[in-house]
Amino acid sequence: MKTDVFIAGGGVGGLMLAAKLASRGVHVVIAEQMNRKSPAYKGELLQPKTIAILDRIGVGEQVEACGHPIDQLRFQEVHRRKGRPPEEISLTELDYGRVASVYDHALMVPHEKTKDILRNKGKSFEQYFHYLPGARFLGFENGVAVVKQKRERISIQADVYVGAEGRSSPTRDAMNVHMERKEYNHHFLTVTIPRPERFTKGKIITTSNGFLGLFPLPDKEIRTVYLIEAGSYKQIKKQGLERFYEAYSELAPELKDGVRAIRDWRDIQLMIPYTYHVDRYYAGNLVLIGDAAHTVHPMAGEGMNLAVQDADVLGELLAWCKEEGKSYHEYLHYYEEVRKPRVSFLLTLSHMSALVYSFRYEWWRKLRCRAVERMYEDDKLHVKQMLNISGLGKWDFTLTDRAVQGNMLPARKRRVKDTEQYRRLFSKAEDYPWIKNEKGRIR
Ligand SMILES: Cc1cc2nc3c(=O)[nH]c(=O)nc-3n(C[C@H](O)[C@H](O)[C@H](O)COP(=O)(O)OP(=O)(O)OC[C@H]3O[C@@H](n4cnc5c(N)ncnc54)[C@H](O)[C@@H]3O)c2cc1C
């Protein structure tokens, strides 16, 4: 079998890339080892930049129609008292609407739904989109990809081979890249439960030693994420579901009925956060996207978004090469130059957010409360935080920002103007810097 681009892995990154390439007349073969929907939780929060990308390939409305909009993130700090309702100490609300963009909210969409939409988009270009379900990519033999589907071994020859296999990637192995894995002192338990209708905002509830993230989904459901000490899962399981229900109810009494919908520990998924980032995104004609190249701490809800954003830049580059008759290999460096620094930046941001919730000391909690409140009181911090996590742009935090956040300097009273933000939103020229006009300037 011959194709322009071979993609190993039909997750959200691989499907986004394949749909984009097929829509631009690039022949693509995509091999996905599973032939049914994945039962595993894999993230549902689509950040504004991802929504913008989905819009550009013509599925924005479809995604909006099956998502729950999140226009605000609430951070609630409480005192927990057994048998009594939690007492609120502070509440901070951060708004996506502070970002100067029409993409002013995030969306909670079931992961498999996003994949279905992308797969169907790809299939609408049937001449170019070749999806192989139940096909496991084994590796390369004589520079050609080898895939096993049922009992058949298929050789696929392509101009470019993309590793989109997620955390365990044969393409990455073949590239011999370097990466270091970082672990955390906590794990998460995650489960979807029914939610009361009026519970519509994304919310993180914390105490000095507890953390519960609540993100509403459509169909009156809510994704919950409960932080536990690393290695304590077995012990918690031994205590039984009744103790688990209690833990939820103490932090979020409004979910006390919903949490009882969990009937079995098998409904609850253990999530072990760790991070890595490869030192190279491409080698020869092999390229990595998404979790094959990097994985982030889930605290900032970025993993899936980074995969889609990688796919967008790489897809635009490969499509442009085909349209302009350029050699793919000469231009792959642009993909790494655009994506690697942005991913590094978000890895750091997610890591910092994780640290904020990693220590169970009262003094740490006080610092956290102050730092989170400052994000709201100081408009510049608010704008920077939301702009950065939205993926729509990048605005570095300065030492002054951190001093304000750490309460060493007073909060600034001035509201950030939209015009100040425009310079920080990624322009088309920054997203796709290889596209130049007739005068050789970036368009
Ligand atoms: C438990 C958990 C919770 C998460 N929570 C969030 C969150 O809240 N928000 C967020 O944004 N991100 C979250 N993430 C991260 C997010 O799921 C990933 O960053 C994102 O799915 C990466 O997309 P991907 O396409 O690169 O890889 P994946 O989604 O992992 O897709 C890889 C695909 O490749 C297939 N595959 C693997 N090996 C082969 C092979 N050899 N041959 C053929 N096919 C293969 C797999 O079956 C899979 O379908 C979470 C991840 C996990 C594991």
Task: Say what angle helices 111-123 and 12-23 make with each other, to 10 degrees.
Answer: 20
- CATH code of the domain covering residue 321: 3.50.50.60
Domain that holds residue 136: 2-65+109-182+275-350
The pLDDT assigned to 47 comes to: 97
CA 382 – CA 130 distance, rounded (Å): 44
Q: Whose CA is nearest to atom 17 of ligand 1?
A: 42
pTM: 0.95
User: H-type helices in 299-361, by residue range?
Assistant: 303-324, 328-356
- Is the domain of 295 the same as that of 190? no
Pair of tokens at residue 329: 């290999």
Atom of ligand 1 nearest to the CA of 303: 19
Q: Residue 294: how many CB atoms within 10 A of its CB? A: 25
Once rounded to an integer, what is the mean pLDDT over residues 379-402? 96
User: What's the pLDDT score for residue 440?
Assistant: 59
Q: Is residue 432 part of a domain?
A: no
- In one-letter notation, the amino acid at residue 178 is H
Residue 436 pLDDT > 90: no
Q: Same structural domain for residues 199 and 341?
A: no
CA 389 – CA 373 distance, rounded (Å): 18
| pLDDT tens digits, one per residue of 199-218 | 899 999 998 888 999 999 99
Total domains, the chain: 3
Distance 348 CA to ligand 1 centre (A): 20
Are both 31 and 135 inside the same structural domain? yes
Q: What is the rounded distance in angstroms from the CA atom of residue 14 to the CA atom of residue 16?
A: 6
**Ligand 1 atom at minimal distance to the Cα of residue 271:** 1
Give the pLDDT band of residue 223 (cuts 50, 70, 90). Answer: very high
Residues 411 and 332 in one domain: no
Task: Of 36, 109, 27, 119, give the one whose Cα is nearest residue 70.
Answer: 109
58 and 126 belong to one structural domain: yes
Which residues face 192 on adjacent strands?
223
Q: How confident is the model at residue 344 (pLDDT cuts 50, 70, 90)?
A: very high
Query: Residues 280-292: pLDDT tens digits?
Result: 999 999 999 999 9
Task: Let me know whether 232 and 364 are in one domain.
Answer: no
Ligand 1 centroid to residue 288 C-alpha, Å: 13
Same-domain pairing of 89 and 60:
no
Establish if 60 belongs to a structural domain.
yes
Average pLDDT, the chain: 93
- Ligand 1: list residues with CB < 6 Å: 8-14, 31-34, 41-43, 45, 136-137, 164-166, 170, 271, 290-292, 298, 301-305, 307
Q: What separation in angstroms does the CA of 40 have from each of 62, 192, 388?
A: 23, 12, 28
CA distances from 232 to 82, 152, 166, 244 (A): 21, 43, 26, 13
Q: Do residues 22 and 155 both lie within one domain?
A: yes
Residue percentage of the chain with pLDDT more than 70? 98
Tens digit of pLDDT for each residue in 79-119? Answer: 887 778 888 889 999 999 999 999 999 999 999 999 999 99
| Ligand 1 atom nearest to CA at 310 | 26
428, part of any domain: no
Tokens of 29: 């073969």
Report angle CA 122, 124, 127 to the nearest 5 degrees. 85
**pLDDT given at position 439:** 55
Residue 46 Cα to ligand 1 middle (Å): 14
Q: How would you classify residue 160: left for phi > 0, otherwise alpha for psi between -120 and 50, otherwise beta?
A: beta
- 359 exposure class (CB count in 10 Å sphere: 0-12, 13-18, 19+): middle
* Top mean-pLDDT range of 200-204, 265-269, 306-310: 306-310
- Going edge to edge, which strands form the sheet with 182-183? 182-183, 274-277, 294-295
